[in-house]
Structure 1
Amino acid sequence: MSVVVGLLAGLAAVVLKNLTYFIEASLERGILISDNSLYFVLPIIGLTLVFIYVKFIHKEKLKLAVSSILFSLSKEKGIISPKQIYSRLITAPLTVGFGGSTGLLGPAVASGAAISSVLGSSLRINAKTRSLLIACASAGAIASIFQSPIAAIIFAVEVFSLDLTMLSMLPLLLASISGVLTSYFFLGNEILFSFTVQKSFEIEDTLFYIVLGIGTAFASIYFTKMYFGIIKLFEPLGSPIYKLLVGGLAIGTMLYFIPPLYGEGFGFINDLLRDDHIAALGHTPFDTYIDNIWVVVALLAGITVFKAVAMTATLAAGGAGGTFIPTMVMGSALGNLMAKIINNAGLGFDVSEANFTLIGMAGLISGVLHAPLTAIFLIAEITGGYALFVPLMITSAISYLITKNVIDYTIYTRELAESDSLLTHDKDRTVLNFMDLDEVIEKNFKPVRPDMTLGEMLHESVSKSTRNIFPVVDENKALVGIVLLDDIREFMFDTTKYSSTTVATYMHTPPEHIFYGKDNMRQVMQKFQTSGAWNLPVIKNGEYVGFVSKSKLLTAYRRELINFTR
Structure 2
Amino acid sequence: MRYKYISQKNFVFLLSILIGLLAGLVSVTIKNITFFIEWLLERTVVFSENSIYFILPTLGLWLVYLFVKRVSKKPIEHAIPSILFSLSKKNGLINSSKIYLPLITAPLTVGFGGSVGLLGPAIASASAISSNLGQFFHIDRKTRSLLIGCAAAGAIASIFKSPIAAIIFAIEVFSLDLTFASLLPLLIASVSSVLTSYFFLGDEVLFSFTISDKFTINDTLFYIVLGIGTGIASIYFSKIYFAIYGFFNRFKTNGQRLIVGGLAIGIMLYFIPPLYGEGFGFINDLLSGNHLHALGDTPFDNHLDNIWVVIALLIGITIFKAVAMTTTLAAGGAGGIIIPTMVMGSTLGNVVAKIINNIGFNVSEANFTLIGMAGLIAGVLHAPLTAIFLIAEITGGYELFVPLMITVSMSFIITKNAIEHTIYTKELAEKGALLTHDKDKSVLTLMRLDSVIEKNFATLKPEMTLGDMLHHGVSKSSRNLFPVVDDNDRLVGIILLDDIRTVMFDQSLYASTSVETFMTKPPDYIHFENDSMQQVMNKFQNSGAWNLPVIKNGKYYGFVSKSKLLTAYRRELINFTP
TM-score relative to the length of structure 1: 0.97
Q: Does 1:497 align with 2:504?
A: no
Task: Report whether the alignment pairs 1:135 with 2:175.
Answer: no
1:70 matched residue in structure 2 = 84
| Cα distance per residue 1:385-426 (max 9 Å; x no partner) | 000000000000000101111111111111111112111111
Tell me the equivalent position of 2:270: 256
Q: Does 1:369 align with 2:381?
A: yes
Question: In the alignment, is residue 444 of structure 1 matched against residue 456 of structure 2?
Answer: yes
Q: Mapping of 1:238-317 within 5 angstroms?
A: 238-317=252-331
Report if aligned partners of 1:473, 1:544 keep a CA contact under 8 Å in 2: yes
Q: Any idea what SS the aligned residue of 1:279 has?
A: helix
- Partner residue in 2 for 1:169: 183
For residues 88-120 of structure 1, give each alpha carbon's deviation from its aligned partner in whole angstroms, at most 9, with x where no partner exists.
000001100101000011001111111111111
1:146 corresponds to which residue?
Answer: 160
Name the SS of the counterpart of 1:490 in structure 2.
coil
Q: CA deviation at 1:503?
A: 1.6
User: Which residue is 1:355 aligned to?
Assistant: 367
State how far apart, in whole Å, the 1-side matches of 2:504 and 2:331 are: 69
CA distance in structure 2 between the partners assigned to 1:299 and 1:57 by the alignment = 41
- Select between 430-439 and 293-302 the one with higher mean Cα deviation: 293-302
Q: Secondary structure at the match of 1:509?
A: coil
> Structure 1: which 5+ residue stretches go unaligned?
none
Instruction: Name the amino acid aligned to 1:205.
Output: D
Work out the CA distance in 2 between the residues paired with 1:69 and 1:562: 23
Q: Which deviations, in whole Å up to 9, do the C-alpha atoms of 1:480-520 show, x marking residues without a partner?
A: 11111111222222222222222222211111111111111
The whole-number CA distance in structure 2 between the counterparts of 1:339 and 1:480 is 68
- Percent identity for Structure 1 against Structure 2: 70
Contact 1:31 1:37 (C-alpha < 8 Å) held by counterparts: no
Pairing of 1:382-393 with structure 2 (within 5 A):
382-393=394-405
Partner of 1:423: 435
1:91-170 alignment, distance < 5 Å? 91-170=105-184
Residue 561 of structure 1: CA displacement?
Answer: 1.0
Offset at 1:477? 1.4
CA contact (8 A) 2:374 2:404 kept: yes
Give the aligned residue type for 2:541.
Answer: Q
Does residue 338 of structure 1 match 2:352?
A: yes
The CA deviation at 1:192 is 1.0
Q: Which residue of 1 aligns with 2:235?
A: 221
AA in 2 matched with 1:121: Q
Unaligned runs of 5+ in 2: 1-14
Partner of 1:555: 567
Rounded to whole Å, the distance in 2 between the matches of 1:4 and 1:471 is 54
- Residue type of the alignment partner of 2:434: L
Deviations 1:46-70 (A, max 9, x none): 0000000111122122122111111
1:204 equivalent among 189, 203, 218: 218
**Deviation for aligned residue 1:463:** 1.6
2: CA distance between counterparts of 1:337 and 1:199? Answer: 18
SS of the equivalent of 1:483 reads strand
Deviation at 1:30, TM superposition (A): 6.4
**Secondary structure of residue in 1 paired with 2:492:** strand
For 1:374-523, what aligned pairs fall within 5 Å after superposition?
374-523=386-535
CA distance in 2, matches of 1:433, 1:386: 38
- The reply to whether residue 60 of structure 1 matches residue 74 of structure 2 is yes
The structure-2 alpha-carbon separation of the partners of 1:36 and 1:160, relative to structure 1 and needing over 3 Å to count, comes to farther
Q: 2:42 touches 2:48 (CA, 8 Å); kept in 1?
A: no
Q: Is the 8 A contact 1:36 1:256 kept in 2?
A: no
CA 1:497–1:33 in 2, change beyond 3 Å: closer, same or farther? closer
1:5 matches 2:19: yes
* 8 Å contact kept, 1:433–1:521: yes
Residue deviations 1:133-188 (CA, integer Å, cap 9, x gap): 11110000000000000000000111111121111111111111111111111111
Q: Is the 8 A contact 2:285 2:294 kept in 1?
A: yes
Residue 335 of structure 2 is aligned to residue 321 of structure 1: yes
Structural RMSD (CA): 1.3
Q: Distance in 1 between matches of 2:168 and 2:269?
A: 34
Paired residue total: 564
Tell me how far apart the structure 1 counterparts of residues 239 and 560 of structure 2 sit (CA, whole Å): 40
Q: Are residues 36 and 141 of structure 1, via their aligned partners in 2, closer, same or farther at CA, if it must alter by over 3 Å?
A: farther
**Shift in CA distance, 366/31, structure 1 to aligned 2, threshold 3 Å:** farther
TM-score normalised by structure 2 residue count = 0.95
Paired residue type of 2:86: S
1:233–1:96 Cα change, 3 Å: same
Q: d(CA) in 1 for partners of 2:477 and 2:99? A: 52
**Shift in alpha-carbon separation, 1:355–1:65, aligned structure 2, 3 A:** same
- The answer to whether the 8 A contact 1:136-1:175 is kept is yes
Q: Does the CA contact (< 8 Å) of 2:459 and 2:483 recur in 1?
A: yes
Contact 1:219 1:364 in 2 (8 A): yes
Cα 1:44–1:33 change in 2 (3 A) is closer
Q: Is 1:21 matched up with 2:35?
A: yes
Q: CA deviation at 1:75?
A: 1.2
Letter in 1 for 2:102: R
CA apart distance, 1:288: 2.2
Provide the rounded CA distance (Å) in 2 between the counterparts of 1:33 and 1:127: 50
Residue 34 of structure 1: how far off its partner (Å):
4.2
1:235 CA drift (Å): 2.0
User: Within 1, Cα distance between the matches of 2:55 and 2:146?
Assistant: 42
Q: Which AA in structure 1 matches 2:374?
A: A
Could you tell me whether the CA contact under 8 Å between 2:238 and 2:380 is conserved in 1?
yes
Structure 1 stretch 148-157 or stretch 224-233: which is displaced more?
224-233
Change (3 A) 1:230 1:33: closer
What SS is found at the alignment partner of 1:41?
helix
User: Matched residues in 2 for 1:197 and 1:471: separation?
Assistant: 72
Distance 2:358 2:292 in 1: 17
Secondary structure of 2:412's aligned partner: helix
Secondary structure at the residue paired with 1:421?
A: coil
Deviations 1:180-237 (A, max 9, x none): 1111111111111111100111111111111111111111111111111111122223
Q: Is the 8 A contact 2:47 2:53 kept in 1?
A: no
2:367 match: secondary structure: helix
Does the Cα contact within 8 Å between 1:366 and 1:372 map onto a contact in 2? Answer: yes
| CA distance in 1: counterparts of 2:64 and 2:97, whole angstroms | 15
Question: 1:40 Cα shift?
Answer: 3.0
Change in Cα spacing, 1:32 to 1:205, as seen in structure 2 (3 Å) is: farther
Letter in 2 for 1:520: S
